[in-house]
Amino acid sequence: MLRLYGRYFPIDQGKDRVITFVHRVLRLGGEEISALPGGASIELDLDDYVQRSIFYRGVYEHGTVRRFRALLRPGQVVLDVGAHVGQYSMLAAAAVGPSGTVVAFEPEDDLRARLSANAERNGFTNVRALAIALSDRDGRSRFQPSPPGNRGMGRITTHGTREIIVARLDALFPTLGLDRLDILKLDVEGAELPALRGAEGTITRYRPALIVEASAANARAFGYGPAELESWLRERGYLVARVPRSANLVCVATRA
């Protein structure tokens, strides 16, 4: 019944709060497998907010997923930066097919392991998972892992409890053996603008479509705001549109 409500009840506002409340009251949880649009399946931990939303609602971030899937074509190269357990990676892998490539960046070990397991479950040989966070520098950084219950909140911070590898996409991309980049999805809890700055040369060369989170609260921790991020994108020839009722931007190149 809760899945029927999450997927088909016409009023979207407040759904996640209702689902979380009922989930806690009934002490639901554990591991489940859910089908994604496009034919892939994904194994989920229902004690996590994002994974629970995928299970009960079909996908997490409906509006963004719809626009992401509209961009996908066979043979494309897609980078999923801040890949979590792989919702976007699995959607992309199914759509780009064996002739395409998905590179997932996820520095949290258990999330990346689940992503890799989901790729294996689906028989996807076109997915690579890297334990790297994209930034505007190369080296190492402190990282604060996600809290229990919402595993999508890990971030780079000077007060982090562990150390991770960070890299500029401009330095890393030539080592991946790829000759194109079609879509770059970027959701890294406020580090989006540093990551874009570190990818400027790659973006200029390949002109990929961009899906970028622009959360004011997350960006503030890195010393900028969504307006600055949008200006950076427009100055580089991108048409920027915000997904309704979301912090995400969909950006398409308007010039070569």
Please indicate, yes or no, if residue 55 is contained in any of the structural domains.
no
Please indicate, yes or no, if residue 28 is contained in any of the structural domains.
no
Which residue segment(s) compose the domain that 123 sits in?
Answer: 61-253
> How many distinct structural domains can be found in the chain?
1
Residue 65: helix, strand or coil by DSSP?
A: helix
Please indicate, yes or no, if residue 173 is contained in any of the structural domains.
yes
Give the pLDDT confidence score for residue 11 in this predicted structure. 81
Query: pLDDT 10s per residue in the chain (256 long)?
Result: 888 888 888 888 888 888 888 888 877 778 999 999 999 999 999 999 999 999 999 999 999 999 999 999 999 999 999 999 999 999 999 999 999 999 999 999 999 999 999 999 999 999 999 999 999 999 999 999 999 889 889 999 988 999 999 999 999 999 999 999 999 999 999 999 999 999 999 999 999 999 999 999 999 999 999 999 999 999 999 999 999 999 999 999 997 6
CA 243 to chain centroid, in Å, comes to 15
Please indicate, yes or no, if residue 27 is contained in any of the structural domains.
no
Alpha carbon of 22 to those of 31, 35, 232: distances in Å?
17, 22, 42
**What is the C-alpha separation between 244 and 192, in angstroms, rounded?**
19
**What is the C-alpha separation between 77 and 149, in angstroms, rounded?**
32
Please indicate, yes or no, if residue 3 is contained in any of the structural domains.
no
Please indicate, yes or no, if residue 78 is contained in any of the structural domains.
yes
Where are the alpha helices (H) located in the chain, listed in sequence order? 2-8, 15-25, 49-57, 62-71, 87-96, 109-121, 169-172, 192-197, 200-206, 216-220, 226-235
The CATH number that applies at residue 79 is 3.40.50.150
Please indicate, yes or no, if residue 5 is contained in any of the structural domains.
no
Alpha carbon of 101 to those of 84, 112, 136, 203: distances in Å?
18, 17, 24, 17
Give every CB contact of residue 21 below 8 A, 6+ residues apart in sequence.
none
- Which pTM was predicted? 0.94
Alpha carbon of 247 to those of 69, 95, 112, 219, 230: distances in Å?
18, 25, 24, 11, 12
Please indicate, yes or no, if residue 39 is contained in any of the structural domains.
no
